[in-house]
């Protein structure tokens, strides 16, 4: 009886001692910081259900503008808020193939809704009036974890941007490197 109890105890202890994070389901809460080509972001991704998450982001974008009708170069720093529901369509297939899925590393479809506020720091220009701008962009993207805490994301989409003055179509490309805080 003592040997059976001891064997069960060792087995249970080994499961607890050597268990790793469960990669078979999307992670419930992820907090990360990213650096993009012209932006810095703080993100919170929340698992909703199944293969769906909601990624919320606060960022600061850097912009520069130069043209034939502009004297010099215009620089601006713009606060950005973003909400992005995501559907990870190949998460289970990556698990079946034995690929890394920690921190929701998979391909996804997303619908990005973002708002760019009026820049809080900008050079003066008589040729440009700054105002807020909203956009709605369906995207396809990939998210990969590098090592234990670093990530890489690439997303591409075509959508619309809206301001008081006009509505325009635009191409959106996200290229980010980040660090998982939680």
- How many domains does the structure of the chain reveal? 1
**What is the predicted pLDDT for the residue at 21?**
46
48 within some domain: yes
What is the chain's pLDDT, residue by residue, as a tens digit (182 residues)? 445 444 444 444 443 333 344 455 788 899 999 999 889 999 999 999 989 999 999 999 988 777 656 666 778 889 999 999 999 999 899 999 999 889 999 999 999 999 999 887 777 655 556 678 999 999 999 999 999 899 999 999 999 999 888 899 989 999 999 999 98
90 within some domain: yes
18 within some domain: no
Cα 154 from Cα 34, distance rounded (Å): 12
Instruction: Write the CATH number for 124.
Output: 2.40.160.20
16 within some domain: no
6 contacts: CB under 8 Å, gap ≥ 6? none
**Residue 122 structural domain:** 26-180
**What is the predicted pLDDT for the residue at 74?**
76
Cα 182 from Cα 164, distance rounded (Å): 38
146 within some domain: yes
3 within some domain: no
1 within some domain: no
148 contacts: CB under 8 Å, gap ≥ 6? none
CA atoms within 13 A on the CB side of 56: 5
**What is the predicted pLDDT for the residue at 132?**
85
**What is the predicted pLDDT for the residue at 23?**
56
């Amino acid at each position: 009886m003592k040997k059976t109890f001891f064997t069960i105890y060792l087995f249970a202890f080994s499961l607890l001692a050597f268990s790793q994070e469960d990669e078979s389901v999307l992670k419930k809460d992820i907090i990360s910081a990213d650096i993009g080509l012209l932006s810095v972001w703080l993100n919170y991704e929340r698992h909703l259900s199944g293969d769906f998450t909601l990624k919320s982001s606060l960022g600061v974008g850097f912009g520069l503008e130069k043209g034939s009708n502009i004297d010099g170069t215009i620089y601006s720093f713009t606060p950005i808020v973003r909400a992005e529901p995501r559907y990870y369509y190949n998460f289970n297939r990556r698990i079946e193939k034995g690929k890394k899925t920690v921190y929701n590393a998979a391909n996804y479809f997303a619908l990005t809704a973002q708002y760019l506020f009026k820049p809080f720091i900008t050079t003066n220009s008589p040729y440009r009036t700054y105002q807020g701008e909203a956009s709605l962009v369906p995207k396809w993207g990939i998210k990969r974890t590098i090592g234990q805490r670093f990530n890489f994301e690439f997303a591409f989409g075509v959508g619309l941007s809206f301001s008081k003055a006009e509505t325009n179509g635009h191409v959106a490309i996200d290229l980010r490197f980040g660090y998982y805080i939680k």
